[in-house]
Structure 1
Amino acid sequence: MNSIQPLSDIIVSLLNLVRKGAPRQLLLVSGGRQWCQQQVSGLNCPTTRILWIGDAGVGLVPPAQLKPVSAKQTHQLLGQESECVFFDCWSGFNPNGFGQVSGTLIAGGVLVLITPTLSAWQAFNDPEYEHIAVEPYGVADVGRRFIRHLQGCIACDTDLIQFTEETPLPQLCRPKDAVTPVAGTHGQPEAETSSCSAPFRTADQERTVKQCLQAVRQSRAVLVLTADRGRGKSAALGILAAVLMRKGITAPEQDIPNTDSSVNRDRLDIILTAPSRGAVQSVIAMLERLLSAELREHPRDLWIYGENRLRFMLPDQLSRQQPDADLLLIDEAAAIPAPVLLSLLDYRRVIFASTLHGYEGTGQGFAVRFMPTLDRRVPERQLLSMQQPVRWAEGDPLERFTYRALLLDAEPVTLAATPAQWGGVSFRKLDRDDLIADSDMLKQLFGLLILAHYRTTPGDLRILLDSPNIEVWAGFSEEEEPTLVATALLAYEGPINHGLAEAIMAGTRRPKGQLIPQTLLAHCHIPEAAGCRGLRVMRIAVHPQRQRRGIGTALLQAIEQASTDIDWLGTSFGATAELLSFWQPFGFRLQRLGYNRDKVSGTHAAVMLRGVSPAGIVLQEKGTDKASLQLKRLALQGTGQISSDLLSLFAL
């Protein structure tokens, strides 16, 4: 067994390659807790751009010079760049946090993954289990499948460097596929960047901005810009906005100015929207960098340069108010529902920017849900894509590992053109241990869920695999060989013991999980909800090539027939006419409609239920009566908080 090893020496050796344009490295530090703590206690790294991700009170104690950032707060780091990241798995492995922080690393950077001894990792009580274990389950009930999945990813990765308690100091050398960079380009070959004028990081980014400039100088322009994460897409939007605010939208195309401070005198209004303000940090950072002290932010979310203005608005607010603008920039469009995006097409100039594969959402689902309608409404739309990485080198090994570990590029299989009727589909509950053993099936299944919901994140993968109250169902087409064409993710909820139910009704307890029973107890005051057991449909997805053939309904029927120990089937979703047309014919009835709009989708959350046992039918009827009174009260109030069109959609 090793004594204390010079972890600092390893990291210093790897960081020396940053300036040599090496690919980013994943360094696995694995051992017992005391050994891991010894390794990090004496760290002294030659850079100030170091991040420590973890909770010191739960995991390891970081070196004194590093301030820990919780994995749940890594979204605050978006837009930043780092040379070294320590990810403390003794604090828990948060998939979203890992995906977010890995994107901050520049070319040649090092991500240090500190884990328990690999062979014992599954037995370790990961602090994340406390967030996965819903009432009435405990940490011991949570599965260990996601860690097993990570172990498999580590075992098959020939690029990562392992430094463990049982192995000697690894021999380090410059990777053979490293590229020679130009200063300041973070790993891009000289031939690709020599034409770039500041602030461009790649020729790809420069070309994209110039294409956007040319397009938006027309009276009507709709562009769709897609890129994988780390290609400089958001920064390109910031450069575009800065050029337009300085030169105006009708000025002739010129090189990007860095010193010319002239201001267009015809006022220009740009609106920027995204699922959250944090998602546009890179856009705003680039805008502020290029326009420097002459740019004013007053009030918050309004930037003024001369007479020109850029405003940030959340999607729902923008969709409802529809303020005038000369140009609308939509970043992370994949994480915004397609109906909201389509409602913004009345603007004369719109740029939809979407990450293809990322923790924010998926551009693949964006393409399936949004692009066909866009093509019909605006056939002259332009498609742009960005391929060159900005922060790291081509073929980056850390990017490959992140994609594999978090299934960021998961997609369903492409089906034959011949349509299959639902009668040719068989349904069954899947064993989640079998899913871990079949990586192709897991990837196809998660890919279907990504397509079905714009907010599917890597964290959902861990819930799917490990949550103790989850069931996974699938439908397989039998055209030639069994092919996955549908899936459903289900959560068991209830019954709830009497004491907890009373506390929920009194408003003194809000346990994790149990969404539908808690809603019926806390908001509808129906005590019978505590004694019933049900299945909540968290997600249901049908392959895009097999939709509108009754497969989803048949899957629900198969689930109900097989689930003989439940009183109800339920669901909760953002209410739209399209979704209600699926749930209502199957007998689902409204139990409660949320008062507040979702800030991204603009929808109101609807809780619906279908009783399948005598007790469940009584519960449904009581909930329906409560919902009817709620809707009548809302209609009489006429406050506009919930539209009359939405109220009329519910068949009670």
Structure 2
Amino acid sequence: MLGPVEPGGVRRSPEERERIRREAEEASYELGKGLPESLLRLRRLLRHAVKASIASNRRLMVVLSSDDPVKVGVATASVLIAYESLVRKLKGKGQIRVLYAFNESYEGSQLRKELVKRSVKERCNMTKLTITKAEDARRYLGTTFQGLVLDLVDDLKPNRIGILTGIVEGGGIIVLQVPSWDSWDTRVTEFKRNLLVPGYSEPRHVFIAWFKRKLLEHNRNVFIVDLDKDEVISGEPIRPSPPKERRAEVPKDARFPEEVYRLALTQDQVNAIRAAEWLIEPPEEDGRKLLVITADRGRGKSCAAGIAMAGLISAWLGSPRRRRIKVVVTSPDLENTQSLMELAGRAFEALKMEVSVERKGEEVIGFRGKGFRVKYVRPSEVPEQEADLVVIDEASGLPVPLLHRIWRAHRRILVASTVHGYEGAGRGFSVRFLGEVRRDPRTELRTYEMEEPIRYSEDDPIEAWLFDVLLLDAEPARLEEQDLVDIREGRLSYVVTTPEELFSEKGEGLLRQIFGIYVQAHYRNEPDDLALMADAPHYSIRAVATSSGKVVSAALLAEEGGLSPELSAPSSTRTRLRAT
């Protein structure tokens, strides 16, 4: 097995890059030979799965397991080639955009990436690979792809999985590259290494066992191939069924033009756009208006925000006001705004408004039209901008202090935000930011939550797996009257448990209660914390429960100390210096 190089910004010499390129070139010839039986069987399964997935707007996932980078690279290329062939037969020609996320710090990951890139270039004419480092996952929030390859061989970070699986649309394919199936549980990944503290040389090995179990439990459209044993160990194609019919009715008394509403794909989007009509009128003197549209991934909130932005500009241009309209759009990254910008452009076109599109490379950064200007601005610069409207996309990805500065600096703000904390800011947006907004007497706040999926179907098997494995919908237990009596009278029990117990099939119910409390109690909680709770060797878990077993309080305890003299001496010296 090829080992890791030093993590961080890796710069390989031209000789090293050439060696990896030659190895990938030689390995790509394996595709011209007979494929192993496991991949032949997988192809047969994919014929049914891809057809049913496209017909029902659901996604499918393939897990390829081996420590051999050539085996995994060849298998990945084979899957993408087969997928393109099936899509061509079912849908005809068209581009298949696939995001490939690899780990730059590992030579094996480099080899897998080069092998797949070369093979796809030689054997595919519809598939367009976008190569990115896995650590840059957040850049792709708000984007849409037809496929994803995610390298998990040397590192598994739940945040990245939550972010990247959400970018794939219905009918699309996700490929997870993982180590040898039997030994994966105890592999010391980069994430696990970062959990080690003085006094502990080995992490726990709990989360990956949980992750594997959830892959096996959710076997509908999730195919696991053990390349070392040459067998498909799990996976069953879904049955073909038509997607749920979408209906979107235009409001009869709408203030935005009908053409704006015709762009909505669901009634949820119609309702979100309708909610934005509230922003047409200015807030009271010295006041502010803030509209927040929230949703899980794939519900079309960014698109709704883009359509609503165009509707507001149209309404203002038709009013007696004469001065030029200025709209600022911001998000954690320019790429996050492209769905919003695309739908805004389509809305301008539907309204027959003459606009010029401003671009930076291939990305839209704004629009100019008669009497108005829309421009993307980096988040840190937004408080200093003059604007009639600020539109914030993927707001949960911004630091809460910066959100406060933007809110205090502008009078009309339209916000789109993901509900379940994929962005890496946990519940800071909903708990800290919106909590402060609600307490401000000068700010009028309205919220609308979208529920109906657009990017994929309502019963998408991959979303069901993702919510289950990352506990994205974990909530505290619902308390009954007897539980409240127990609390008042002190009939409570002290619960001592372990990650091994909680992440087992038997302990999962208790885990959901405890993690649900953590999520609500700590605003920065995020999916990575679930793996930290499972594998950090110095963490322990305690809880308090009622007589019915419902958890009402939970604590995650971190053991500290045990520093060697070499580590503790500099710390004590710094303390003495500060004290003097």
What is the TM-score of this pair, normalised by structure 1?
0.63
The answer as to whether partners of 1:31 and 1:115 remain within 8 angstroms in 2 is yes
Matches within 5 A, 1:347-366: 347-360=410-423, 366=429
User: Aligned pair 1:207/2:271, yes or no?
Assistant: yes
Q: Deviations over 1:562-610 (max 9, x none)?
A: xxxxxxxxxxxxxxxxxxxxxxxxxxxxxxxxxxxxxxxxxxxxxxxxx
Aligned match for 2:324, one of 251, 261, 267:
267
CA deviations on 1:498-544 (whole Å, 9 max, x unpaired) are 3xx5xxxxxxxxxxxxxxx7xxxxxxxxx452xxxxxxxxxxxxxxx
Q: Cα deviations across residues 388-445 of structure 1 (Å, max 9, x unaligned)? A: 2121011111111011111222222244685958988776764221221222232233
Q: Indicate the residue corresponding to 1:433 in structure 2.
A: 500
Q: Could you tell me which residue of structure 2 aligns to residue 58 of structure 1? A: 108
Deviation at 1:294, TM superposition (A): 0.6
Shift of residue 153 of structure 1? 1.0
C-alpha distance in 2 between matches for 1:275 and 1:100? 14
- Kindly report which structure 2 residues correspond to 1:461-610, keeping only aligned pairs within 5 A, or say none: 461-468=530-537, 470-478=538-546, 481=549, 483-490=551-558, 492=560, 495-496=563-564, 498=566, 527-529=569-571
Q: Among residues 39, 49, 66, which one is paired with 2:97 in the alignment?
A: 49
Greater mean deviation of Cα atoms: 379-388 or 394-403: 379-388
> CA–CA distance in 1 between the matches of 2:392 and 2:489?
38
1:20 aligns with 2:70: no
Deviation, 1:232, is: 1.1
- Residues 241 and 466 of structure 1: CA distance in aligned 2, closer, same or farther (over 3 Å): same
Aligned partner of 1:40 in structure 2 is 76
1:5 pairs with 2:68: no
Q: Is the 2:222–2:235 Cα contact (8 Å) retained in structure 1?
A: no
Deviation at 1:494, TM superposition (A): 5.9
Aligned-pair CA distance for 1:149: 1.0
Pair 1:51–1:91, CA change in 2 (3 A): farther
- SS of the aligned residue for 1:357 comes to coil
Instruction: For 2:192 and 2:302, locate their aligned partners in 1 and report how far apart those are by CA, in whole Å.
Output: 34
Of stretches 408-417 and 195-204 in structure 1, the one that deviates more from structure 2 is 195-204
Write the letter of the residue equivalent to 1:25.
L
* Aligned counterpart for 1:622 among listed residues 568, 576, 579: 576
Residue 375 of structure 1 deviates from its aligned partner by 4.2
Measure the CA separation in 2 of the matches of 1:621 and 1:124.
38
* Separation in structure 2 between the aligned mates of residue 172 and residue 30 of structure 1, nearest angstrom: 18
Query: CA offsets per residue over residues 231-252 of structure 1, 9 Å max, x none?
Result: 111222222223434x253637
Seen in structure 2, the aligned counterparts of structure 1 residues 289 and 457 have a Cα distance that, compared at 3 Å, is: farther
Specify the alignment match of 1:182 in structure 2.
none
Helix, strand or coil at the partner of 1:409 = coil
SS of residue paired to 2:37: coil
Quote the Cα distance in structure 2 between the aligned partners of 1:170 and 1:495.
Answer: 46
- What's the CA shift for 1:27? 2.8
Instruction: State the Cα distance separating 1:23 from its structure 2 match.
Output: 1.4
Q: How does 1:282-293 map to 2 (within 5 A)?
A: 282-287=339-344
Distance in 1, matches of 2:329 and 2:577, equals 41
Find the counterpart in structure 2 of residue 83 from structure 1.
146
Is the Cα contact below 8 Å between 1:428 and 1:474 reproduced in 2? yes
1:302 is displaced (CA, Å) by 7.2
1:32 Cα deviation (Å)?
6.3
- 2:379 counterpart of 1:331: no
State the number of aligned residues.
488
**Which residue of structure 1 aligns with residue 4 of structure 2?**
none
- For 1:488 and 1:170, locate their aligned partners in 2 and report how far apart those are by CA, in whole Å: 35
CA contact (8 A) 2:162 2:466 kept: yes
The 1:2/1:357 distance shift into structure 2, 3 A limit, reads: same
Structure 2 match to 1:108: 171
Q: Is the 8 A contact 1:217 1:249 kept in 2?
A: no
Does structure 2 retain, via aligned residues, the 8 Å contact 1:4–1:35?
no
Distance 1:18 1:380 in 2: 43
Partner of 1:548: none
Kept in 2: contact 1:23–1:175 (CA 8 A): no
Q: Secondary structure at the match of 2:153?
A: helix
Amino acid at match of 2:502: L
Q: Is this contact kept in 2: 1:270–1:326, CA < 8 A?
A: yes
SS at match of 1:445: helix
Measure how far apart 1:155 and its partner are.
2.8
User: What residue is the counterpart of 1:393 in the other structure?
Assistant: 457
**Identical counterparts, % of pairs:** 24
Matched, 1:157 2:218: yes
Alignment root-mean-square deviation, CA: 4.2
> Structure 2 vs 1, CA of residues 488 and 15 (structure 1 numbering), >3 Å: closer, same or farther?
same
SS of 1:249's partner is helix
C-alpha displacement at 1:81, in angstroms? 2.0
Is the contact between residue 143 and residue 336 of structure 2 (CA under 8 Å) also seen in structure 1? no
Task: Specify whether residues 147 and 69 from structure 1 end up closer, same or farther in structure 2 by C-alpha distance, changes over 3 A only.
Answer: same
The DSSP-based 3-state class of the residue aligned with 2:107 is coil
Using the alignment, how far apart are the partners of 1:243 and 1:428 within structure 2?
A: 55
Q: Secondary structure at the match of 2:303?
A: helix
Specify the SS of the correspondent of 1:154.
helix
Separation (CA, whole Å) in 2 of partners of 1:167 and 1:302 = 48
Q: Does residue 460 in structure 1 map to residue 510 in structure 2?
A: no
Instruction: Measure how far apart 1:368 and its partner are.
Output: 4.7
Partner of 2:309, secondary structure, is: helix
Equivalent position amino acid for 1:465 in 2: A
SS of structure 1 residue aligned to 2:163: helix
Q: Could you tell me whether the CA contact under 8 Å between 1:14 and 1:108 is conserved in 2?
A: no
Q: Give the Å deviation of 1:52.
A: 2.8
2:478 & 2:400 partners in 1: Cα distance? Answer: 22
8 Å CA contact 2:142–2:394 kept in 1: the answer is no
Q: Which amino acid aligns with 1:622?
A: R
Q: What amino acid is aligned across from residue 3 of structure 1 in structure 2?
A: E
Q: Secondary structure at the match of 1:381?
A: strand
Q: 2:500 is matched by which residue type in structure 1?
A: D
Unaligned runs of at least 5 residues, structure 1: 180-187, 253-262, 502-516, 518-526, 530-617, 627-652
